[in-house]
């Protein structure tokens, strides 16, 4: 028999979306075969009653209901920014899943985590009753998401041959784990792959999964060696975490139950919505990310894992990170060059899926047919681990309050070129109006809308004129999404009431720089759980800039200006290139990007920078000291921008 590493680690597993009433001692659960299991799920908010005091332990379960139970059990969450993005994806555009139905966010969340798949015809079948073999597929995917080591047990059911080939391995592994059992008929044990699953049976298998992931009894720690093909080799059992870690050598790992809780070298992958905290006490957070994101593991303890995401170092709940030893890593994310453009290929170790997006211009130190690795999107290493070079993408770091030279008509032309039937065609003037009135660069705001609304084709965009998914929370995205009278109203209000006051205003608690950025600086720190949200939108801007500059034979905007970032806090921006009673505003944070319009030598080097005209401000010219005058120190460093 063969052991299979499904991922690594465990997860915190209960809390429903709402607080349910506890099932009473005298109800239709009382005395049933799975009473204990159903009451446990009801208490945890995973399974709920019908509103009339009944729970239907013998009622058959639909695919939508089972999906909902497993999403609640695993506490899977999609951030507000992610729901609209995932829902707009062609991968999850099920023809029979209505965004207005209660089960919509659960199906979207489960699809994004790779727990469920639709039928070959593109439908999901939300109201179809789920069979035992399809239930097994979802359950084994849930184990894969959260990390279990299992054995493919030989099956001895009377009807083993009736189990479809796609489900047989899942049944073997779940049988080994004790999550799924057979049914007795006439003294024989059958699996009954085509039987419909009841609510009581559903409660039983979910409870068993939770007990595998979070065992109720204390387990000893084991030191083991894992490999892709052979059974794990157990080297010793230890009573404490510290003892086990002290006895682990080389590529050996420490197991607790079926979960890896320590590795020496390897990688980490978030397995849920994950918050990064500033210290081991995990009380103050710095940013967050979604499931399936690779993170650099710096240090591991029993109570936390210290990681690096982009340039942010933080502490996370160990239950939220799958640990994979170096010898078990199947694939990795990397950057590559094609036709002079830089692409980012993402590998999701949770779902074993890959996807790529265009990021921007390829740096001159990169070559085609090579892989480059980067934690932050601007410092790159080659496959040997040596530094290849540093290069920033202009559109990822440019201040988003600058103006684009492209007209509304030209923006419409680009959209029509890319997606001829896009509802965004005709909105170019509205984006330019937002730029003029509120200070949001029109090219940026269009790219933001393209990304969030799938070129205006998401249902929220079409039905509610909401191009940014604002208000579309994970509990009820369609119903909760804000609605506007027109696209123009939605564009203007998003700029005025949401984007500028929250992410451009340096006095707010979520301000991290008015650029797209990543999980260390810019809007991406607090706007989106997608760690590469800022890079993806920058890619849309770059693509539009390349097309329009070629069409109109102009210099690409991504090559027109230099960028610099602050290396000191509270840098003064002045009306003239001199120190005096001329301060206009400050740049409070280190890492704030400015667009350089000109350089002036006057008691050191000064930059004329693009003015930050938001919130009614209308500065004509703005200047900031950079370096070269010893009394003033150094305020900026130029960024090497890929061109």
- Report the half-sphere exposure of 14 (CA within 13 A, side-chain side): 16
Residue 50 CB neighbour total at 10 angstroms: 10
Q: 167, 88, 94: which is closest to 126 by C-alpha?
A: 94
Do the beta carbons of residue 379 and residue 387 sit within 8 Å? yes
How far apart CA 99 and CA 105 sit, in angstroms, is 8
Task: Tell me the two tokens of residue 415.
Answer: 């959209």
User: What b/e sequence results for 211-238 when a residue is b if at least 16 CB atoms lie within 10 Å of its CB, and e otherwise?
Assistant: bbbbeeeeeebbbbbbeeeeebeeeeeb
pLDDT at 227: 86
CATH topology of domain 408-552: Lysozyme (1.10.530)
What residues contact residue 497 under an 8 Å CB cut-off, 6+ apart? none
4 in the Ramachandran plot: left (φ > 0), alpha (ψ -120 to 50) or beta?
beta
Q: 622, 430, 400: which is closest to 504 by C-alpha?
A: 400
The ranges of the chain with pLDDT < 70 are 1-25, 78-92, 216-217, 473-475
pLDDT at 92: 57
Do the beta carbons of residue 374 and residue 358 sit within 8 Å? no
* Coil vs helix vs strand at 366: coil
66-196-167 Cα angle (round to 5): 75
Task: Tell me the two tokens of residue 138.
Answer: 């979802």
pLDDT at 94: 84
pLDDT at 214: 80
Please name the residue that has the structure tokens 């099920």.
94
Q: How far is CA 352 from CA 11, 112, 115, 230, 332, in A?
A: 19, 12, 12, 20, 10
- The set of long-range contacts for 498-504, using a CB threshold of 8 Å and a minimum separation of 24, is 498/468, 498/470, 499/440, 499/445, 499/448, 499/468, 500/438, 500/439, 500/440, 500/614, 500/615, 501/615, 503/527, 504/400, 504/401, 504/439, 504/440, 504/612, 504/614
Please name the residue that has the structure tokens 């003892």.
243
How far apart CA 64 and CA 138 sit, in angstroms, is 12
Q: What are phi and psi of 587, to 5 degrees?
A: -105, 100
How far apart CA 55 and CA 46 sit, in angstroms, is 12
What residues contact residue 598 under an 8 Å CB cut-off, 6+ apart? 607, 608
Number of separate helices (H) and strands (E) present in the chain: 17, 27
Q: What's the Rg (C-alpha) of the chain?
A: 27
Q: Where are the domains of the chain?
A: 34-213, 334-391, 408-552, 562-639
DSSP symbols for 97-147? --TTSTTHHHHHHHHHTTS----TTS---TTSBPBHHHHHHHHHHHHHHH-
Specify the pairing of strand 285-289 against strand 305-309.
unpaired
What residues contact residue 94 under an 8 Å CB cut-off, 6+ apart? 107, 118, 122, 123, 124
Do the beta carbons of residue 72 and residue 202 sit within 8 Å? no
Do the beta carbons of residue 627 and residue 605 sit within 8 Å? yes
DSSP lists the bridge partners of residue 338 as 341
What residues contact residue 485 under an 8 Å CB cut-off, 6+ apart? 465
Distance of CA 431 to the CA centre of its chain: 27
pLDDT at 145: 86
């Amino acid at each position: 028999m063969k052991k299979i590493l499904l991922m690594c680690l465990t997860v915190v597993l209960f809390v429903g979306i709402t607080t349910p009433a506890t099932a009473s001692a005298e109800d239709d659960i009382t005395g049933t075969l799975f009473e204990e299991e159903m009451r446990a799920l009801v208490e945890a908010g995973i399974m709920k009653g019908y509103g009339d005091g009944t729970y239907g332990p013998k009622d058959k379960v639909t695919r939508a209901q089972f999906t909902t139970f497993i999403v609640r059990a695993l506490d899977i969450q999609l951030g507000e920014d992610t729901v609209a993005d995932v829902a707009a994806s062609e991968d999850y555009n099920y023809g029979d899943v209505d965004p207005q139905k209660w089960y919509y966010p659960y199906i979207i969340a489960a699809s994004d985590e790779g727990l469920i798949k639709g039928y070959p015809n593109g439908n999901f079948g939300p109201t179809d009753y789920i069979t035992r073999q399809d239930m097994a597929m979802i359950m084994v995917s849930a184990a894969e998401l959260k990390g279990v080591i299992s054995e493919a047990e030989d099956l001895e059911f009377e009807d083993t041959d009736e189990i479809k080939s796609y489900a047989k391995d899942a049944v073997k592994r779940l049988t080994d784990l004790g999550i799924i059992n057979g049914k007795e008929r006439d003294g024989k044990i059958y699996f009954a792959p085509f039987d419909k699953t009841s609510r009581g049976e559903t409660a039983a298998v979910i409870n068993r999964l939770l007990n595998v992931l979070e065992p109720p009894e204390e387990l000893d720690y084991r030191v083991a060696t894992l490999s892709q093909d052979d059974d794990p080799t157990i080297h010793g059992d230890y009573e404490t975490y510290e003892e086990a870690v002290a006895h682990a050598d080389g590529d050996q790992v420490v197991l607790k139950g079926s979960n890896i809780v320590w590795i020496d070298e390897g990688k980490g992958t978030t397995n849920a919505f994950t918050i990064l905290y500033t210290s081991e006490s995990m009380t103050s957070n710095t940013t967050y990310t979604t499931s399936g994101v690779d993170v650099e593991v710096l240090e591991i303890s029993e109570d936390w894992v210290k990681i690096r995401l982009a340039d942010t170092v933080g502490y996370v709940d160990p239950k939220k990170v799958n640990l994979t030893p170096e010898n078990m890593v199947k694939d990795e994310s990397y950057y590559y060059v094609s036709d002079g453009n830089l692409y980012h290929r993402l590998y999701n170790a949770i779902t074993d899926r890959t996807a790529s997006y265009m990021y921007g211009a390829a740096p001159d130190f990169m070559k085609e047919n090579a892989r480059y690795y980067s934690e932050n999107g601007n410092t790159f290493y080659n496959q040997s681990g040596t530094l290849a070079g540093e290069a920033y993408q202009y559109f990822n770091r440019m201040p988003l309050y600058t103006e684009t030279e492209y007209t509304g008509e030209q923006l419409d032309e680009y959209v029509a070129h890319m997606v001829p039937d896009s509802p965004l065609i005709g909105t170019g003037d509205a984006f330019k109006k937002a730029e003029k009135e509120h200070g949001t660069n029109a090219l940026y705001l269009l790219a933001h809308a393209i990304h969030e609304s799938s070129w205006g084709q998401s249902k929220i965009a079409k039905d509610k004129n909401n191009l940014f998914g604002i208000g579309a929370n994970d509990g009820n995205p369609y119903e909760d999404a804000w609605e506007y009278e027109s696209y123009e109203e939605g564009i203007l209000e998003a700029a005025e009431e949401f984007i500028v006051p929250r992410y451009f205003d340096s006095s707010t608690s979520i301000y991290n720089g008015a650029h797209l950025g990543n999980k260390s600086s810019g809007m991406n720190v607090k706007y989106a759980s997608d760690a590469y949200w800022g890079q993806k939108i920058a890619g849309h801007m770059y693509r539009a800039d390349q097309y329009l500059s070629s069409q109109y034979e102009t210099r690409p905007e991504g090559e027109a200006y230099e960028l610099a970032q602050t290396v000191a806090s509270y840098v003064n921006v002045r009306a003239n290139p001199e120190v005096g009673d001329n301060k206009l505003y400050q740049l409070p944070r280190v890492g704030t990007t400015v667009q350089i319009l000109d350089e002036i030598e006057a008691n050191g080097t000064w930059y004329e920078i693009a003015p930050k005209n938001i919130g009614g401000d209308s500065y004509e010219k703005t200047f900031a000291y950079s370096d070269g005058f010893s009394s003033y120190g150094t305020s900026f460093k130029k960024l090497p921008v890929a061109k």
